Structure formats: structure tokens, C-alpha cells
Structure 1
Amino acid sequence: MKKQLGILTVISLLCSACATDGTLATGGNTQATTAQQLGVTAIKIAINAKCTTEINNQPAWQIVSRTMTAEQQQTVQSNVCGCVSDKALENITAVDLATAAIDPTARAKIVSHAVTRTLNQCVAETLKR
């Protein structure tokens, strides 16, 4: 609960960085840039958590991970979910970020869609390494 409250607080800061046209404020305003960075960081954390859950729920991962050490499992999950966290942001608009700050249901849907759109791509990239 405290984690969700912390994430909501950080995302709320992001709302103060939104311009009236629905885009994130940029430019010389350091406070807006910091709020934007905090909001993106909060979304990345939520995406990473969702990604880890999705991976652990996959039957294929459950089978393959049995042959790995705990360190290998952690490395693969970190690589895949790091990729998902970075690429998923390409699918999240400033409006989505603002909506996520005030609506927990929307936040869950936004994060879920972002993870869904990027997870398979990142698994494939990780396996190519």
C-alpha cells in the first residue's frame, strides 16, 4: 500500500509538469523536468513489476527457469524487464501519464498494455544476445 501511495505521489508531481495542451512541459523549467523524470521513473517501476509478474506466470518460463541458477534467472528477468521498461515508455503518452496519476484502474490498464506490447519483443532481443 505504501509503495502504491509513493508511486501515486510521484506521478502526481508529474501532473504539475503537464501543459494545457496535454503534453509534458519541457524547456528551461527545472522543476517541471524533474517532475517529468520522477513520473517516468514511477511508471518504469510499475512496468518492471508488471513485467516480472508476467514472466513468472508464463508456463514456458516456469519450465526453462528450472534449469537455471537463481542468478541466471535474475539476470534474464532484469534484461527482459529493463528492455520492457525502456520500450514501453514509447507507448505511453503524456495524457496516459496524467490519467495514471489520478485513476488507479487506468494506471493498471496503461501499464498492462505497455507491457503486453513490448514483452515478446524484449524476450526475443534478450534471447539473441
Structure 2
Amino acid sequence: MKKLIAVLAPFALVLSACATTDGTTGGSAMQTTGQQLGMTALKIGINAKCTTELNNLPAWKTATRVMTAEQKTNVQTEICGCVSEKAPESVTAVDLATAALDPQARATIVSNVVTKTINSCVAEAVK
């Protein structure tokens, strides 16, 4: 009896992974989870890339010379937060799924998103 349970328990667990609470087949639930994972991975990468890009901008270097370290950190957080929030506007569902699985593709997607949005976010923060 114990052997039968040991064999059937993993099988039942695998089958239950396909079940959803709303009665659908699970495809959309898995797609949403993949997109969420992709967006989380992108946001982490976007924040790191944004900080690097921001520190390399000549205008940022000039503007932060008169700021305290705390002011610089606060503005940097605001700008990179803006970039992270605007990320969904620049990324497709396919990009999100790819970012969740492929670190190399994630780096490319992150770079593109930051490049597209950092200047507008700097302009918003300066206003």
C-alpha cells in the first residue's frame, strides 16, 4: 500500500499543477505567471541598468555635483522607478516570457527599455 501511495502521489502532484481555480485549461494562468516572472526579472535588470546608464550621462554627472548623497540617491530612485514603471509600455508579452527564461535576451530587452525611457524620466524628474 505504501508503495502504491509513493508512486501515485507524484503523479497526482503533476496532474494538479495543470488545474486552475477558474476551470480553465491553465494556459492563460501559466502565461500570466510567465509574464509576471518576466516582468520581475526585467524590473530587477532595469533598475541596475538604469543606475549604470544614469551615472554615465554627462548631464547627470553635472547636475549631481551640487547634490548631497541623499538627494542624489532620492532623485536616482525616482528616475529609475519611472523607467521601471514605463517598462510595460515598451515590452511585449513575448519579450516578458523570453526574459523569464533567457538571461541573454533579458539583458538585451533591459538595455532597449532603459535606452527608450531614461531621457523622458530624467526630464520628468527635473520638472
Residue 58 of structure 2: aligned partner: 59
Partners of 1:60 and 1:105 lie apart in 2 by: 29
Residue 82 of structure 2: aligned partner: 83
* Structure 1 gaps, min length 5: 1-23
Tell me the TM-score normalised to structure 2 length.
0.70
- Report sequence identity in percent: 64
Greater relative contact order (Cα < 8 A, sep 6+): 2
8 Å Cα contact 2:45-2:110 kept in structure 1 = yes
* Structure 2 gaps, min length 5: 1-26
Count, aligned residues = 101
8 Å Cα contact 2:35-2:97 kept in structure 1 = no
Residue 100 of structure 1: aligned partner: 99
- CA 1:82–1:112 in structure 2 vs 1: closer, same or farther (change >3 Å)? same
If you compute each CA radius of gyration, which structure gives the higher value, 1 or 2?
2
Equivalent AA in structure 2 for residue 73 of structure 1: K
Residue 41 of structure 1: aligned partner: 40
Aligned CA RMSD, in angstroms, stands at: 2.0
Residue 111 of structure 1: aligned partner: 110
8 Å Cα contact 1:51-1:81 kept in structure 2 = yes
Using the TM superposition, give the Cα deviation of residue 100 of structure 1 relative to its aligned residue in structure 2, in angstroms.
2.0
Residue 125 of structure 2: aligned partner: 126
- CA 1:79–1:115 in structure 2 vs 1: closer, same or farther (change >3 Å)? same
Tell me the TM-score normalised to structure 1 length.
0.69
